[in-house]
Structures are given as C-alpha cells and as structure tokens.
Amino acid sequence: MPPLPDYYSELSPFAEHFDQGLPSLCYHKIEKAPQGARIKGLYLSANLFAQQISELKRAGFHFVLPGLPERSRTNRKIFITFDDGFVSNWKSAMPLMKAHGCRAINFLVADRLGKSSDWESAEGGEARPLMEDSQVRPRPKRKL
C-alpha cells in the first residue's frame, strides 16, 4: 500500500485502510483557523467537514459508537470523535451530523463546561469557548 497523507482531506488515499477495520477520525475545532494559529491542523472549516461527511456517506459508511448497539447492515463503519468540547463543533458540526444521521462522541474537559480553553492562551494561542451543560446531551450509564 502507498504511504498515507498526514491528514484526512478525501477518502481515496484511505479507502483500502478504512475497509480493513474500524477507522476513527478525531476532530478538534470545526472553524476556520484564525490568523496566527499555532497549530493549524487542529482547525477544519465547516465546508471541508461537510464535504468529508458527505463523501463518507456516499461511500456507504455508517457512523457508529463503539459499545452501543448498531443499526447498520453494512461492513463500512466509521467512528467520529471531537476533542475538548469546543462550541464551534456544537454550532458547525452537530447540525450537519444530525442532518446526515451521523453519530459521534464529544470528549469533554472535566470541570470546563461553559468555560474556555484557557490552556491555549497559556501556550500563546487564543482561548476558545467550550460547550455548556445545555449543549451536552448525556447518555445513560451502562454497566461495563
């Protein structure tokens, strides 16, 4: 197999790999990278995110949550995560995911709901708003 690109921008280079397991795509901020952003790879425009989700749906991928019952009749499954609970993900990504019938997991920062990513300003970046309680949809606890 040829070497993979450093990041996912379209399905074609990854298709063979994606068909061999349960691929996972992790997103941080669904918004345009601000000028001077220290790590531009943490940002993805809402338009490019929409293109990626649409392409995966057209290719027959079903968005799953590991450990939960599946409704899929296809072997093409994918797992989407969002790190840190940024408001930009809730505003930009979630409506699109809902429209496409996609599911994802938000990994939130403990004790930071409704606050900001102040760790970024401590590193010379710009603190971004984090989701608040009303934007988080809890799942019932399951026994492991």
pTM above 0.85, yes or no: no
In this structure, what DSSP letter does residue 45 have? -
Residue 122 confidence (pLDDT) above 60: yes
Place of tokens 């026994």: 143
Domains and CATH numbers, the chain: 19-135 (3.20.20.370)
Q: What is the DSSP string of 91-137?
A: IIIHHHHHHTT---EEEEPTT-TTSB-HHHHHTTS---BB--GGG--
Which tokens is 16 given?
């063979």
Q: Dihedral sign, CA of 102, 41, 31, 108?
A: positive
Of the candidates 92, 76, 88, the residue with the CA atom closest to the CA atom of residue 34: 88
What's the confidence (pLDDT) of residue 30?
A: 93
pLDDT-derived band at 17 (thresholds 50, 70, 90) equals confident
Instruction: Report residue 28 as tokens.
Output: 């941080």
Helix, strand, or coil (residue 24): strand
Mean pLDDT of the chain: 84
Question: Can you tell me which residue has the tokens 């990504």?
Answer: 93
pLDDT tens by residue, 62-105: 998 877 766 666 778 899 999 998 898 989 998 999 998 888 99
Q: Which residues pair with 106 in a beta bridge?
A: 82
